[in-house]
Amino acid sequence: MRSQINLKHPPRFALAPNAGNPAANPVVLSAQPNCRIELFVLAEDIIRVLVLPDGETHGPRTWAIAPGADDVPLECRERRDLSGFTPPPFTVNDAAGHVVIETARVRVSVALEGGACAWDILHEGTWHRVMSDRQTQAYNFGWWDSRVYHYVEQRRDEMYVGLGERAGSLDRAQQSYEMRNIDAMGYSARTTDPLYKHIPFYVTWQPQTSTGFGLFYDTLADCRFDMGRELDNYHGHYRHFIAEHGDLDYYFIASPGSPLHAVRRFTWLTGRPAWMPKWGLGYSGSTMSYTDAPDAQQQMGEFIERCREHDVLCDSFHLSSGYTSIGPKRYVFNWNHEKFPDIDGFVQSYLDHGVRLCANIKPCLLQDHPAFDDVAEAGLLIEAPDGEPAWVQFWDEVGAYLDFTNPATIDWWKARVKDALLKYGIAATWNDNNEFEIWSPHAIARGFGKPYPAHQAKVLQTRLMMRASHDAQREHAPDKRPFLVSRSGGVGMHRYVQTWSGDNYTSWETLRFNLKMGLGLAMSGVSNSGHDIGGFSGPAPEPELFARWVAFGIFLPRFSIHSWNDDGTVNEPWMHPEVTRHVADLIKLRYRLIPYLYELLWQSHSAYEPVLRPLFAEFPHDPRCLVDGDDMMLGSSMLVAPVVDPGRSTRDVYLPAGSRWVSYWSGEAFDGGQTVTLPAPFERPVFLLREGSVIPLNIAEQHFGRPADERAFLAVPYAAGAGTAQGGSIEDDGETEAWRNGEQGRWNVMLTGDANTLRVTLERPQWKHHSQQQVRVFVPTHETRAIVCTNGTLDADHTANGWRCLTVSLPH
């Protein structure tokens, strides 16, 4: 029980005797009775605050913090572990009732009376006050209950983005959100809360001073964020965070000049995003209907035939859980041999066409699962205090969750993944229904030898499940990059999986708000994501909505058409004959853009760059980009403007100021700072390239079952003397771990010039498997300067479709 402190007499802190010592990190402030505040100076731009009302940590371990690392130890990282950080020089001053800690970029002043913090950021030579704890009871020192509280003053000019996967507007201001992972099938992308993911991080941006910061609360608890929706006359305007248990343990990340800095640093703080195989960027087919059918293997074969018939490119298929059925229910790792009489032949038939299978797996065993008794006897389940399984509702039956804080469970799970799936040639796992909806306070998890109430760390079970699945793939094929998908997750999930926004409802509204949901997720450190294209639950999408969904989805890192329509129909590329050709062509456009998407995922892995970004994050000085619109940036070079309303044949697009923009389809150039109206037929989604960018493409002619790759580059040079347009693409075998041993290279392309001449420089990948000797570079037709190739020969120069095509031969 935490110590109780009289509200009339808040704790009076004093600086620990050695806190002025430069080596003292954390800086400790203490008060009677037993209160402590520890401040860890981790980097010039990152300071951590740990508030301990009774002097003890209630959550002594963390699975979230992994600065620049691929992962953390299986059983955790100790909270006071500073490995991976390089603490900078800092000063500590104790004067005038405050302790002030200052680095080269951040200054925090802690009031000795009550411990409230005030934060300043240095930007362009000036210190800016960016955050202040509420002066009236900023924390809970046992005044109310055992929950964790943090109250912060709210400013009128602030906007908040992040908190992971959330419904509604991109700016979270004036809203409240609950983080309590739940299976929200058929959710409203505008209003439903909570959803599937638990990411207690957000960025505050203050446009007036172009400063901002990130706040990350390191907790596994169910928690709630109120972003100014609540108003109490006694405290002024505020926002707040409440966790059901644990500690107030938060990281302040300075973000002067751009909100993207906080996103990069948070991603670095919580681990390196996984470098996944290139085929994970291809179209992935999926539906529950095929595997639910009694002739599932035949229906799966018909999908391949339809792909061939309509020339729909496809790299993978997500095998829904119907393959595990006994009667109407689903039993993880069980194969229904009546539906799939020849598993080896079925899997091989897909591989023969270049399509990998990603099998659905679930972490709950129904009470009549064939393996239930053996698993329960072995103690692998989350249990009640009497040792019986902790029963939960799971779909249409009662069951019990596996306990991934038990190493024996992890071993059992990995063995099943390998024996039931990977040995047949299944390429990947789809970790589904893994929200761990455990509500009983009496259910117990093993906790790696330190049992705890299971409901207190549900998101940890989710994270450990995906890690166990990941490790199974690595053990089975150590030379291959693991590929996994997970619906639920929390901080650190980007180290293992690709994800999506769950079981969305089919509507135009969902299309609009899923776009914002994906941006919020990317601004929370999770970039490899997408949505169920067409909508998963509800009515089947009409042709126009389906075509617009596809035209949006092809720009996302994950592109999967998936459904469980109310009328029993299936969302398939050919579901509406009147738009089938458009859909097939859009998917081919997706494959044309895969080199750019692959490069963006490499930048995410290597430099922690978010793949998707709101316009204001890329253009923080343009006030019109602060408006919550329906556009997005794909990387820093491409502006994508989906059509999200019915009956439209054109799209109005605001072009951010400070750049010129070029239409992909026409090569036409537009000055930034204006709104333009562009044609938007189904097969030609609106997207534009930013001046100074170079985009890699695959221009090879591709057909189903016959992959081909030829690199080319789409470039938008600056005007004479304005700068160098540059870009490139990472190149490797796309599947193995050989890149770790140097089996990787990259194209680098640069274009610069004067009033009369444009100089093109191409650096070819120094990679033994690369053999392309001739490269095409496209520039807009308004680019009329003479072309000089600095390290190659210009063999051809012609125009087509608004672009000038330069064919360059490189020396051997």
Q: How many domains does the chain have?
A: 3
The parent domain of residue 385 ranges over 316-482
* Residues in CB range of 73: below 8 A, 6 or more apart: none
Domain boundary (90, 111, 145) is at 145
Which amino acid belongs to residue 455? H
- Whether omega for the bond prior to residue 194 falls within 30 degrees of 0, making it cis, is yes
Answer positive or negative: Cα dihedral of 643, 647, 650, 651. negative
Other beta carbons less than 10 A from residue 69's beta carbon: 15
User: What's residue 10's pLDDT?
Assistant: 85
User: What's residue 18's pLDDT?
Assistant: 72
Say which DSSP state 625 is in.
Answer: G
- 40 inside domain: yes
Neighbour-count burial for 511-522, b at 16+ CB within 10 Å, e otherwise: bbbbbbbbbbbb
The pairing of beta strand 660-663 with beta strand 669-671: antiparallel
Predicted confidence (pLDDT) per residue in 282-339, tens digit: 999 999 999 999 999 999 999 999 999 999 999 999 999 999 999 999 999 999 999 9
User: What's residue 248's pLDDT?
Assistant: 97
- 589 inside domain: no
| C-alpha distance from residue 699 to each of 580, 589, 712, 713 (Å) | 22, 10, 6, 9
User: What's residue 159's pLDDT?
Assistant: 97
- 462 inside domain: yes
- 297 inside domain: no
CA distance 344 to 711: 35
| DSSP-assigned beta bridge partners for residue 641 | 686
Domain boundary (92, 115, 145) is at 145
| C-alpha distance from residue 72 to each of 29, 65, 477, 486, 631 (Å) | 29, 8, 21, 19, 36
Tokens of 599: 């490069």
Spans of the chain below 50 pLDDT: 1
| C-alpha distance from residue 63 to each of 259, 341, 434, 453, 608 (Å) | 25, 42, 17, 17, 19
Tokens of 633: 């940036």
Residue 115: which of 95, 147, 138, 131 has the closest Cα? 138
- 309 inside domain: no
Say which DSSP state 493 is in.
Answer: G
Q: What is the pTM of this model?
A: 0.97
CA distance 322 to 334: 10
CA distance 770 to 775: 13
CA distance 241 to 177: 10
Asked if 458 contacts 438 with a C-beta cutoff of 8 angstroms, the reply is yes
Domain boundary (110, 130, 145) is at 145
- 660 inside domain: no
CA distance 278 to 733: 8
CA distance 195 to 505: 13
CA distance 689 to 258: 21
> Which CATH number goes with the domain that contains 471?
3.20.20.80
- 353 inside domain: yes
**Helices and strands, counts by H and E, the chain:** 11, 56
- 647 inside domain: no
